[in-house]
Amino acid sequence: MSLGTLPPQVDGVQEAKPAPVKNLPMPGIPYFHPIQRPAPGTFLGMLDSTQPRPLLFTPITIRGVTFQNRVWVSPMCQYSSPDGQLTDWHVAQLGSYACRGASLVMVEAASVTATGRTTPEDAGLWKEEQIPSFARAVQAIHSQGQKAGAQLGHGGRKSSMLAPWLGVGVAVKEANGFLGDVVAPSPIAYDELYPVPREMTIEEIQECIQAFAQAAKRAVAAGFDVVEIHAAHGYLIHTFLSPVSNHRTDLYGGSFENRIRFAVEIVTAIRAEIPEGMPLFFRVSATDCLENGRGWDIEDTVKMTRILKGRGVDLLDVSTSGLHPDQKIAVGPAYQAPFAEIVKTQIPDIFVGSVGILHQPEVANHVLETGQADVVLIGREFSRNPSYVLTLATELGVKVKWPIQLHRAEPSYRGRRLLNL
């Protein structure tokens, strides 16, 4: 039929004209992006139909949010944010993970106060003006049909340091540092290369709790799907938890109940500011990795997790260490997974994520198949290979949805009905 001719008639009734082929836009995105449905990284089948579907490519739903696979991007600081704001670098970096199949992309840690940044170039959500830059990154992730996570934190006694490629050292005033405002539960430095913090007053503790809550509110305004509290790696919340770094004698120190009070109050405050259907995650160092039971340990983590779950935490993101230079860590494939497994075994009705050298497909899938965790969060391997989800799929014999713009690079298993190819 030539253009402009009428469709044929049958028994005097004009046949319906076929709907035109059209490159449809992704809904909810303020700029044109072709619709990605289903999202990249979605399971389509097995190359060998006799093989079982790996748990890595099985959907998981937490509260009101469904993730089409269980391979998530861990937050990775870039030390590249002027006045706490994300830039084109972040949009390009985070978007590269999303378009290649990561079902949850966690944006780097956002400080809840200006003086809680580990470096003067850390990202932050301590004021309204920062929301638009985060919203741009979220839109890039959403344009691929993926979910975006905000991690909120405070560096505590590890604040006002130089970017790591400049060496370990403090950022002085001339380097935009804020040494006089570095705070912690007690005036104990991490080591001789870090600043000696000022002990927080009760009023400052309460202000910090509200800063976490307000930052969570801004994360919601930016469009995030998930909020995570960073309570690991020797940063502020972690230093309240451990008796090694918390020598207080008031309501926020001494007993286990007092040392976890800061964390519990932050969780409660954030849960009150975010929607009921939004998942709340909590990243923890399950142990300080110190000898003779010194410091915070896995038994403490399990005990605290029971309380946090009752306050609205949905997933525990399990890491370890970072509190003290004497830590002893046996590093190897899935070396953090045993700690995640202990939490999952003791509290089976909470979701658990595992981290730590999970870049080998068989290792990552084994962690899930054996019940050590529900999801895996991966950092450095995504930095090396933004297509890590697609690589996992290929090596495990899984057919997945590819980003539509990369259709010419898709594996041969994808049947193509594309015009003019």
What is the average pLDDT across 98-120? Answer: 98
Q: What is the pLDDT of residue 12?
A: 54
Which amino acid belongs to residue 11?
A: D
What is the per-residue pLDDT across 6-41, written as a single tens digit (0 to 9) for each? 455 555 556 667 777 899 999 999 999 999 889 999
**In which band, very low, low, confident or very high, does the pLDDT at 3 lie, cut at 50, 70 and 90?**
very low
In this predicted model, what pLDDT tens digit does every residue of 300-323 receive, in sequence order? 999 999 999 999 999 999 999 999
In this structure, the chain runs to a length of: 421
Please tell me the predicted confidence (pLDDT) of residue 21.
85
Cα 253 from Cα 417, distance rounded (Å): 65
pLDDT for 181-208, tens place per residue? Answer: 999 999 999 999 999 999 999 999 999 9
Share of the chain above pLDDT 90, in %: 88
Judge residue 405's burial from the number of C-beta atoms within 10 Å of its C-beta, 0-12 exposed, 13-18 middle, 19 or more buried: exposed
Strands of 84-165, DSSP E: 104-111, 123-124, 147-153
Q: What is the tens place of the pLDDT at every residue in 209-251?
A: 999 999 999 999 999 999 999 999 999 999 999 999 999 999 9
What amino acid positions are annotated as catalytic residues?
A: 235
- Count of alpha carbons within 13 Å of 179, Cβ hemisphere only? 14
- Rounded CA separation 358/376 (Å): 8
Q: What is the pLDDT of residue 10?
A: 52
Tell me the pLDDT tens digit for each residue of 131-182: 999 999 999 999 999 999 999 999 999 999 999 999 999 999 999 999 999 9
Secondary structure (DSSP) of 337-406:
HHHHHHHHHH-TTSEEEE-SS--SHHHHHHHHHTTS-SEEEE-HHHHH-TTHHHHHHHHTTEEEPPPGGG
pLDDT band at 268 (very low <50, low <70, confident <90, very high): very high
pTM: 0.93
Q: What is the pLDDT of residue 418?
A: 45
Mean pLDDT of 79-107: 98
- Residue 148's identity, in one-letter code, is A
Q: Can you give the residue ranges of every domain in the chain?
A: 43-407
H-type helices in 24-126, by residue range?
88-99
Tell me, what's the pLDDT at 8? 53
Residue carrying the six token digits 């995105």: 29
pLDDT band per the 50, 70, 90 thresholds, residue 408: confident
Mean pLDDT of 51-69: 97
pLDDT of residue 419 exceeding 60: no
Question: What's 18-42 look like in SS3?
Answer: CCCCCCCECCCCCCCCECCCCCCCC
What is the distance between the alpha carbons of residues 252 and 403, in angstroms, rounded to a whole number? 49
Q: Quick one: CATH architecture of 43-407?
A: Alpha-Beta Barrel (3.20)
Residue 199, SS3 per DSSP:
strand
The DSSP bridge pattern shows strands 398-400 and 13-14 to be unpaired
Residue 163, amino acid: A
DSSP 58: S
